[in-house]
Each structure stands twice: as structure tokens, then as C-alpha cells.
Chains A and B, each alone.
Chain A
């Protein structure tokens, strides 16, 4: 019986391999099906730059818009930032930022330093709204249509390629 404990590391490793194998088939950048074509979770949060003003899903009804989840502590957000800034300059649709599990000072300083592509940013300090949206790895980007329904989700940094091949065609379709 005593020698059974020497099998424990092997058993633990077996479990780990199983999960890693499952993980290989899950693409962290892939669209998870449950949220697509469902109404976006309703939220109303204080704005990052103005604690007194609120912004929420219902303010955006009637418009096609992008929700981009970001944080100052997120290294990958820096990677996508240039892409996002360039996209914002095309003024195709409003981009609402969801500043996720961050502090107001850090978030604002980050925007000051690297540039602000957002029409406005909602301040989600405890990450409650992020959880409603099923945020997995910051950054994430959602395309939400005029009825407030999620039509597309990108997990991980936006790339110029993703914008060109997936987001822009979708926006053209949604905007008629």
C-alpha cells in the first residue's frame, strides 16, 4: 500500500496531459458559440474618465458598435493597441472600451500614454460586467448590432487581418 503514493505524481500528470490535450482543441482565439446571436448582457457602468456619467448597453441601441475589453495590466492589449487606434481613425463605428479589473488612475494614464481609440470607456473595477460577457483573456472584442445582439467575438489581440477579413465585412452587412 505504501508504494501507492509513488504513483501519485504519475496520476496527476495524466490528468494534466488530458486537460492540455483538450486545451489544444480549444482555440483561445476562437469564437465560443454560446454568446453569439444572443443579446449582449445589460450593463450600466460609470465612465472611466468621469465617475459621474454612466454608459451602458442601452445607450448604444440603434447603433452597430464594438466593445473592446482592455486593462492597463494587460500586455497583449498593448500589442493590439496600434491596430485599434488605426481602426478608430476610420470612424467606421463607435468603439466602447470596457476597462476590466483596473484602477481608474492606471487606466487613464495608460490611455494618455498610448492614445485613446475609444468613444468612451466603461469602468469595470470588479470585473462583474466582464464576467457577464464571459471574458476569458483580455483583450477581447465584441461586435454588437443595432438590436443589442452580439454578432462576433474576438478573443485575444485584434489583428489588421481580423479587422479586414471578419469585422469590416460584418459591419458593412449590419449597417446595410
Chain B
């Protein structure tokens, strides 16, 4: 019964989305307030219906209802509860339902928190999001129904892919999709503005908090995905330039460019048509990512089902949504105008350079991801693109980005003076060089790559410090104390600084790991020990472990330093009973300055000894810490009270304007 309930909820949601996507739009064009007023209740109803469907599927997983095909292929009665819940998004159909769930959450949020918007604008925004939802609902119901039944009912399920049975996988997809789908809000704002023709600084201010929030979610989502790869794939890497990773990284790059160009549009009214284009591109890349992952055009570890009908449907959907919005753009954007002028050296120019670099980086990732496909489609042979391409192309683009990142916040809008900037930043530059070299010297080896990385990290820190000092320095007649001035800093500014420091932490972590990581493969029998960066790893022997749905052999490795015990590590090799996949479960001892990472290889000498891989990874957690700082900065900036305060003013102004109209 319950799966049928979910099915009905989805069908009703489709009906509601159809209404939400059409009537308010027509109402906005004809100025009919009653039709426009449908948008909000429709979005709320849509949310409730999708939530019901989602709960129904979750309940089918929790109750081990193997009469549902999707549950039978992605779960098992021995699967622990947390993974049964995560199993909801462990496969194709459920991922789509999660996508839709997130879309309706964002729609509800827009409906609840945007009452201050003029009615026509809100109606258009919710209508555009409703149309996106129509597409996804049709896709699910026609090609990928999660509620399809299975007869006869199998006695037990096929189990969740063991690679996905990890705590990171429980939270990674919801976060990632929150970010992916969150860009639909910026997209809807942009399309609504193109339809309505009211593209101005107010529009940018409305869009900003939504975009920044979505970007923060996406940042966390990518971070969790990277941590998952580090923990689960078992050889200590944290980014592989896999097509599916790229699919999540491209919207992030476009989104990063977007939040910066929105700042210019809001503050200076410039870059308007460019900002709108970026908003369309960011969401288009989210959709493209969905297409790449779900259609099977690219080979990847994540590529799940490959059903040609599905691929064709998503492609048609892409063509309608992206193509339609780009037609609208080509038609309406020329009338938008270019905004105010600015000098050759100004904050606008620097942010424009930032935008160009991010877009070029995004395009190079796109090219690398699609290149094999393009050549193949042209009949020019088959090639593969791996990390060597991406490292070569991507890193050189990030160096100028970081350099500009230091200067940008200090440059004045409209017109900045080069000598003035150089004077203000000279100590920051000196400090960055000195500290970078000193760090290499302390670490014991100075290499070009590491020095460049440290230079980037410390340049950001020094420039942010300079910026902060200039803002809070007691100066002139206003003899307020530093602390009082610190309190007065707007949240948006603090958020920006925090996010920039996050980039510094990230660059520092990457440089440290890339240069000073130590790894060793050793054959170890009971009692053997090996030494790595001052830590002594003592192999204490193997034992057998029985998990809920797997059997494992577990090693005990006691780690000591200068004779005193540090930690006992227990790496495992698991065999999951249903799918018979062997999995290497690394043991990791995380720390602020280093991770110790031990994973098991193969048994040798008839099982008397094992090949053990031991890593010393300095500052590796800073990579994710940096991402977390970026996301935190984004969250702070999105919650700046300026948006809420202005919203209140506008609501009042809007109601008086409405009264006069």
C-alpha cells in the first residue's frame, strides 16, 4: 500500500507542478493577481506531496519491502538501518527523488522567505522552478519510477553497493544535491528577470543570499565526496578528476564566478548581462552533470544504470531548459545595458579577471571531461584524459586567481591606483615570501611546487590581515577602539574573509601533502615494526571480525612515538556477503598536523605475513578544513542582516507602491 501512496503523491505533485509552472506565469504577463497568487500555495503543496513520496520510499527501505524493485536492488535485510536510509539515494531512481526533494525544499524556502518580492517577480520565479520540477517528475514517472513493484517478491535484496556503505555517503548526496539544485533558485531569478525585463541592482541583491547559500552547500557536498574517496577508495587520494567529480566541480566553479559577479552587479550595476548568463550556466552545469552521470555516456565508477531512453530524455530536457533560457537570453539581454563605467584598474576589473579565470577553468574541466566523447563522436579515434591533463591545465589558472584574491578586496570600486595598492600590500607580499620559505625550511625541503603553494596560502593570509587591519584601524576623528570596530564589520565582509582564509588553508594542506607525504609498503608478520616520520608501527597480528553484513579480517597496528603509545589502528579487509566484493577499510588516525593512514594489502607467505601500506600525511585535513571555512564564510555572508533589513524596507515600500497602484 505505502509504495502506491508514494506513487500517487508523485502523480499529484506533477499535476500541482503543471499548475505552478503555467498559471502564475500567464498571470504575471496579463497582470492577473489571482493567478499569480497561486504560486505560493502551489509550491507549498508541491513540497508536501514530494515529501510524502520521499517518506514512502524511505519507509519501504526501513521495512525491507523487497516487493519494490528499487529496494530489492539496493538494500538487504542485513544492511544496518543508517545505510538502509541512505540506500534511498544509493541508486538511480532514488537519486532523482532526492533531487526532486531538494528542489521542493528550495521552492518552499523561496515561497516562505520572499514575501517581500513584488508579486509578479515571485510568481515568475516559482513558475520557472515549477517547470523544472515538471521535467524531473516526467523523467521519473516515465523512465525511472522508484515505486515499481516486483513479482514474485524476492526473499532478500541485492544489497547496497559496498563502496557506498560509509558514513560519508549518508550525508554527501543530500549536501551535494542541496548545492546543485540550489542554483536553480539563481537560475529562476535570472529567467524571471529576463522575462520581466527588470534586471537591476535590486535583482542582484535578491539573488545574492540564495546563490551564496547554494554555493556553501555545494562546497560542503564536494568536500564530503572528497573525504569519502579518501576514506573508502583506500589509497589515500582525495581527488581523482573522475567525470562524476568533475560534474560536481564545474557548477562550483561557475557558481564561484557567479557570487563574485553578483557583488559587482549589486554594488555597481555593472556586468548585468554577464551575471545573468553565469546564473544560467551554473544551473545548466548542474543539469549537465545529472545528464553525464545518469545517461552513461561517460565511463566512470559512479555511472550507474545505462538506459538509452533515460539519456535521451535528459538530453531533451537539457535542450528545452538550457536552450530555452539561452534563447530568452539572446532575445532580452541586449536591452539590459552594460551598467556604469569603471577604470582600467579597479575592483570591477579585478573581479572581471577573477570571473574570466574561473570560467576558463570551468571550460577546461568541461573540455577534459567531454573530450573523449567529442573525438569519438567525430570519428577521430578514442583517447583518454586523466589527471595529467587536469593538473597541467588547472593549476596554472589557479595561481593568478589567488594573486588577485589578495588584491581584490583592497582595491577601490570604479578606480584604483596601482602605486597606492602596491604600497598598502608591500608588507603582505614580503611577509608571504619570508614565511613561505621559512615553512619549507622547517619542513626540511624547499621545492618549487611547495614554495609556490605556501606563497599562495600566506599571500592570502597576509592580504586578508592587511584588509582587516585597514578596516578596524583606529583612524581620524573616529577614535573608536579596534574591538568596537571589529564588531561593526558586516557579516558579509567577515564571511568573505573567512572564505578566502579557507582557500589559504586548502592551498596549504594541498602543498603539504603533495610535497611531504611519506608512504611505505612493507611486508609485516606478527611482531614486525616499521618507522615513518618518527612514528613506529608495530604489527600486532590479525583477527577475524563479523560485521552485520560482511566478514572481515582485521589487523592490529600499535603506533608509538619516542616509546610512548600514540594510537592503536585497526585496518580491515572486508568481504560483503551478498555481492562478494572485497573492500579495503583503511584505518586512519586524524590529527590537526598529520594523518596516519594504514591499509591492508594482500596476505603473503601463506598468510603468515601481510603487505601493509603505511602513510604519513601532513596537514591533509586542512584540505577539507579549508573547504569548511569557505562554506562557513558563504553561510555567514548569506545571512548578512543587510539583506533582511533591505527586504523589510522594500516590503514597506512595496506595500505603499502597491497601494498607489
- Which A positions have Cβ atoms within 8 angstroms of B? 2-3, 6-7, 9-10, 13-14, 16-17, 19-24, 26-29, 32, 71-76, 78-79, 82, 101, 109-110, 112-115, 130-131, 134-138, 155-156
Contact = CB atoms under 8 A, between A and B. Distances in A.
Contact of A71 (B300, B374, B386): B386
Contact of A136 (B242, B297, B376): B376
Given A82-B582, A137-B384, A19 B326 contact: no
Contacts of A3: 330, 334
Contacts of B242: 75
20 contacts: A2-B334, A6-B273, A10-B329, A20-B291, A24-B297, A24-B308, A24-B311, A26-B373, A26-B376, A29-B299, A75-B233, A112-B521, A113-B602, A114-B584, A115-B602, A131-B383, A135-B384, A136-B384, A137-B384, A138-B386
Query: Nearest 9 pairs between A and B by C-beta?
Result: A136-B382, A3-B334, A22-B377, A113-B601, A137-B299, A10-B326, A75-B301, A23-B297, A23-B373
B372 A19 contact: no
B577 interface: no
Interface stretch (B183-191, B317-325, B398-406, B638-646): B317-325
Most chain B CB atoms below 10 A, which of A20, A29, A130: A20
Contacts of A27: 296, 306
Contacts of B580: 82
Most chain A CB atoms below 10 A, which of B376, B382, B601: B382
A16 to B, nearest CB: 8
B323 A14 contact: yes
Contacts of B296: 27-28
A6 B319 contact: no
A27 B387 CA distance: 23
B581 A82 contact: yes
A117 B51 CA distance: 48
A73 B301 CA distance: 12
Given A23-B376, A24-B308, A101 B326 contact: no
Contact of A101 (B323, B377, B386, B581): B386
Interface of B: 233-235, 240, 242, 273, 277, 280-281, 284, 291, 295-301, 306, 308, 311-312, 315, 318-319, 322-323, 326-327, 329-330, 333-334, 370, 372-374, 376-377, 381-384, 386-388, 519, 521, 580-582, 584, 599-602, 611, 613
Contacts of B333: 6
Given A2-B334, A19-B370, A114 B601 contact: yes
Contacts, number: 130
B565 to A, nearest CB: 26
A71 B386 CA distance: 10
B326 A9 contact: yes
Contact of B297 (A28, A131, A138): A28
B297 A137 contact: no
Contacts of B370: 16, 19
Contacts of A134: 381-382
B569 to A, nearest CB: 16
Nearest to A131: B383
Nearest to B297: A23
A43 to B, nearest CB: 17
A137 B613 contact: no
A10 B297 contact: no
Given A7-B330, A113-B601, A28 B298 contact: yes
A20 B315 contact: yes
Contact of A113 (B235, B376, B386): B235
Contacts of B326: 9-10, 13
A26 B334 contact: no
A72 B312 CA distance: 33
Contact of B329 (A6, A22, A71): A6
Contact of B301 (A78, A101, A112, A115): A78
Contacts of B521: 109, 112-113
Given A9-B329, A14-B323, A26-B373, 9 more contacts: A6-B330, A9-B330, A19-B377, A20-B291, A28-B298, A76-B300, A113-B599, A135-B382, A138-B384
Nearest to B519: A109
Nearest to B328: A10
Contact of B240 (A19, A73, A130, A131): A73
Contacts of B388: 101
Contacts of B273: 6
Given A10-B329, A137-B372, A75 B601 contact: no
B377 A10 contact: no
Contacts of B600: 113
Contacts of A76: 299-301
Contacts of A101: 386, 388
Contacts of B233: 75, 78
Given A75-B242, A109-B613, A21 B315 contact: yes
A113 B329 contact: no
A112 B370 CA distance: 33
B240 A156 contact: no
B247 to A, nearest CB: 13
Contacts of A72: 235
A24 B580 CA distance: 32
Nearest to B319: A17
B301 A6 contact: no
A131 B375 CA distance: 14
A10 B330 contact: yes
Contacts of A138: 384, 386
B334 A114 contact: no
B212 to A, nearest CB: 24
Contacts of A137: 298-299, 372, 382, 384
A33 B308 CA distance: 20
Given A135-B382, A155-B299, A19 B327 contact: no
A24 B295 contact: yes
B300 A75 contact: yes
Given A82-B581, A113-B611, A136-B376, A20 B297 contact: yes
Contacts of B376: 23, 26, 136
A109 B298 CA distance: 28
B381 A113 contact: no
B277 A9 contact: yes
A28 B384 CA distance: 12
A81 B256 CA distance: 38
Nearest to B381: A134
A72 B326 CA distance: 41
Contacts of A75: 233, 240, 242, 300-301
A138 B327 CA distance: 38
Contact of B611 (A9, A71, A79, A112): A112
Contacts of A78: 233, 301
A73 B239 CA distance: 10
Contacts of A21: 315
A151 B591 CA distance: 52
Contacts of B280: 9
A108 B542 CA distance: 24
Contacts of A23: 297, 373, 376-377
A19 B51 CA distance: 36
Given A19-B373, A75-B300, A82-B581, A24 B312 contact: yes
Nearest to B611: A112
A29 B352 CA distance: 42
B461 to A, nearest CB: 32
A156 B299 contact: yes
Contacts of A13: 284, 322-323, 326
